Amino acid sequence: MKKAFTWCYIFTKRQLKRASTIFILVTMLLLTIALSVMSTTMTASMDVGFYIDSTDNDAIMIGIKNGLLKHDGLLNFVAYDSTDTLNEDVTAGTIQCGYIFDDNFSEAIVSGNTKNMVELVETPDNIVSLLSNVVILSTVMEQCACDMLIEDILTQDFFVNVPDKDLEVLRDTYNTFATNGSTFAFDYDTLYEDYKGSSNSIDIAPYLVTPVKGIIAIFIFISALTGGIGWFNDSDSATYANIPLKKRYLLRLLTISIPTFLASLMGYISILSVGIGTNALYELFAIFAYEILCIAFSYILSLIVKKNIYSSLIPVFILGSIVCCPIFFNLGNLVPSLRVLQNIFLPTYYFMLF
């Protein structure tokens, strides 16, 4: 046992003298701190433009325009007087995207013609329209649903000779329910108390928990894999020539375990320093369990493959972890078959612990 502790001390001292080890540890800490600092304040521009040619004597279009202008949430809708200005602002990035309503929109929508009535103007990299589309649809439905219902009543065979006074009662009832909160209305409300409109600071730190932990998981995995390379290099240099074969298994394990332990320790310190850990003890347990998994994986891999194959697999494991594991985005949600591929890469199992 005493010899084992002596070997641990020697291996740890040797690792800390290596520039690559120091680089990995320092980079992990600085990267997590940098992400945390950058996420404390972030400017958000969430303006969305829309153009309505005319609202004269058109209750539906007046309602849509007023509804969008009064929308209270992360999206701020801005009315434009011309389509040219709207297109220019979308291209310049002044607004995230824009909507151009057809001149005959209200008549067409009530009659059931819902195709090509609104033109969406956006840049190829825009994603805000995924949110604004639903707000637009909700506002349109709120203004048009009653007229569409009345149109169906008058044109379908389900109802015959409905008195005008009953239709008026129906409209009044609909307006009552639409304004008192009893019916469904879609809204993106503010997620943060300090958000008061466009171009304000919002805290995105909660959304960086997964990327930061994912980066830490990859660094720990890299350390375990490089530990295996260290073992192969020592074996080739005859460092352990005088060591009995039965003891070399312990040396192989220590060569892989020491850099993995150091990376795990720095990862734990990084999580605590940036404040993304909810429970310090559980974070310690999760990193320890993941560390054991990485050590076991690299140890077994170094036993069954030769050095050249082992070395060539390292870039595959690293790139595969970045792309396939749910760190920055989860491809498994888009392509379900990739969920099987995710199980090949160890960082996936780190996220399963939470």
CB atoms within 10 A of CB 331: 16
pLDDT greater at residue 318 or residue 194: 318
Once rounded to an integer, what is the mean pLDDT over residues 89-101? 89
The pLDDT tens digits for 211-221 are: 888 888 998 99
Residue 295, pLDDT score:
94
For the chain, give the percent of residues with pLDDT over 70: 71
pLDDT in tens, 280-321: 888 899 999 999 999 999 999 999 999 899 999 988 898 888
Predicted pLDDT at 53? 81
Contact 223, 259 (CB under 8 A): yes
Annotate 58-80 with DSSP letters as a single string: -HHHHHHHHHHHT--SS-EEEEE
The 10s digit of each residue's pLDDT in 126-140 is: 778 888 888 888 888
The pLDDT value recorded for residue 48 is 92
Grouping H, G, I as helix, E, B as strand and the rest as coil, residue 53 is coil
Residue 79 has pLDDT above 80, yes or no: yes
Give the model's pLDDT for residue 342: 79
Estimate the crossing angle of helix 280-304 against helix 245-274, to 10 degrees: 150
The gap from C-alpha 262 to its chain's centroid, in whole angstroms, comes to 29
Mean pLDDT on 238-252: 74
Q: Is the separation of the CB atoms in 52 and 102 below 8 Å?
A: no
Give domain limits for the chain. 2-40+204-352, 42-202
202 - beta bridge partners? Answer: 42
- Nearest CA among 197, 257, 215 for reference residue 34: 215
Q: Is the per-residue pLDDT at 190 higher than 90?
A: no
Tell me the pLDDT band of 3, cut-offs 50, 70 and 90. Answer: low
CATH of 42-202, one of 3.40.190.10, 3.90.1150.60, 3.40.50.620, 3.60.21.10: 3.40.190.10
Locate tokens 């972030």: which residue? 42
